[in-house]
Amino acid sequence: MLTDTPEFQQSIFDTLADQIVVIDHDGVILFSNRSWETFSDNNGCVIRDGWRGINYLEACAAAAESGDEFGEKAAAGIREVIARKRPEYRLEYPCHSPDEWRWFSMRAAPFSLAGKRFLVISHHDITERKKAEEAVLELSRIDGLTQVANRRHFEEFLRAEWQRCLRLEMPLSLALIDLDHFKRLNDTYGHPAGDACLTRVAATLGGFAQRPGDLCARYGGEEFALIFGNTAALPARGIVDGVLDALRALGIANEKSSCGPKLTASVGLGTITPRADGSLEDFIEAVDQSLYGAKSAGRDCVKVRNFDN
């Protein structure tokens, strides 16, 4: 056995903080270090007779069958190293628990001992680095003034939600919101008042985007957008009516607006169940035209386009 050799007994694998297993060319685990055993025990992966003899590739395949795409990638990469198609394989993957956000980096590399070739697979905790990267990425997604999503994040999120709704055959609703006569508000009360107005509006709109498939974003200038994943036309209209009521209730002064002395908004709302032959760009353009229709109709109202009718 590998672990019976003097060379292996003198190895440093068992003293490392990284979780490590050694496998043979069939994927069978020959050794697991202390960190591996401890992590497994702490995360409900207790193996009664230890990890020796468990097939690592089969464990990855089982994870893939349960929907874990990283299990499939790991198995494929390890097999390529075994077949000498690549010198080593690396993969970064999430391993979140119910109360902790965690990321690991896996490395599979060959080594020789006593004239035989094995693979050592190590898992290194990169959670802190990932948290720092996520913090930087989050800053790049946020509009500096209003603290809601910026235009770039809006476009990325909407495209991802379009694909999700296409795959699951679910409706997608998009509302484009334009503050009525905002330029007059800026000119009358000054830019600081205009900035304060945008901040209050953004905070109010954000309260209507609370689910994972929802997003509130600053679309540009005094325009905002609300995305509602898996939301049909009727409930989307109800939400948008609530949006207009909430904006009116803010009571933000705009005395030179033709719509009245308080801030109002116009909304274009569209709903569609995406299809493979459909165009997201055409959908956005149609919603924008609905917004234009609301402004042409006198503002302070909603114009709806339902593509599912």
Other beta carbons within 10 Å of 136: 9
- The mean-pLDDT minimum among 49-58, 150-159, 210-219 falls in 49-58
- The mean-pLDDT minimum among 25-39, 140-154, 166-180, 271-285 falls in 25-39
Indicate whether this model's pTM tops 0.75: no
Between 244 and 60, where is the model more confident?
244
pLDDT at 10: 47
In this structure, what are the phi and psi dihedrals at residue 22, rounded to the nearest 5 degrees? -115, 130
Q: Is 60 exceeded by the pLDDT of residue 46? A: no
**Distance set, CA 213 to CA 141, 160, 269 (Å):** 16, 10, 17
- % of the chain exceeding 70 in pLDDT: 92
pLDDT at 47: 55
Report the length, in residues, of the chain.
309
Other beta carbons within 10 Å of 25: 14
- The mean-pLDDT minimum among 38-47, 155-164, 298-307 falls in 38-47
Helix-strand-coil split of the chain, %, nearest 5 = 45, 25, 30
Name residue 74's amino acid: A
Render pLDDT for 213-254 as a digit per residue (tens, 0 to 9).
999 999 999 999 999 999 999 999 999 999 999 999 999 999
Render pLDDT for 92-133 as a digit per residue (tens, 0 to 9).
988 877 678 889 999 999 998 888 899 999 999 999 999 898
The three-class DSSP label of residue 54 is: coil
Of 155, 169, 222, 255, which one is the catalytic site residue?
A: 222
pLDDT at 143: 93
The DSSP 8-state label assigned to residue 128 in this structure reads: H
Reply yes or no on whether 281 is catalytic: no
Q: Is 50 exceeded by the pLDDT of residue 282? A: yes
Render pLDDT for 154-184 as a digit per residue (tens, 0 to 9).
999 999 999 999 999 999 999 999 999 999 9
The three-class DSSP label of residue 145 is: coil
Residue 66: band (very low, low, confident or very high) from pLDDT cuts 50, 70, 90: confident
Other beta carbons within 10 Å of 30: 17
Q: Distance between CA atoms of 288 and 266, rounded to whole angstroms?
A: 11
- % of the chain exceeding 90 in pLDDT: 72
HSE, side-chain direction, 13 A CA sphere, residue 54? 17
Q: Is 70 exceeded by the pLDDT of residue 43? A: no
Q: Distance between CA atoms of 264 and 246, rounded to whole angstroms?
A: 10
The three-class DSSP label of residue 182 is: helix
Q: Distance between CA atoms of 52 and 22, rounded to whole angstroms?
A: 9
Residue 58: band (very low, low, confident or very high) from pLDDT cuts 50, 70, 90: very high
The three-class DSSP label of residue 195 is: helix
Q: Is 80 exceeded by the pLDDT of residue 11? A: no
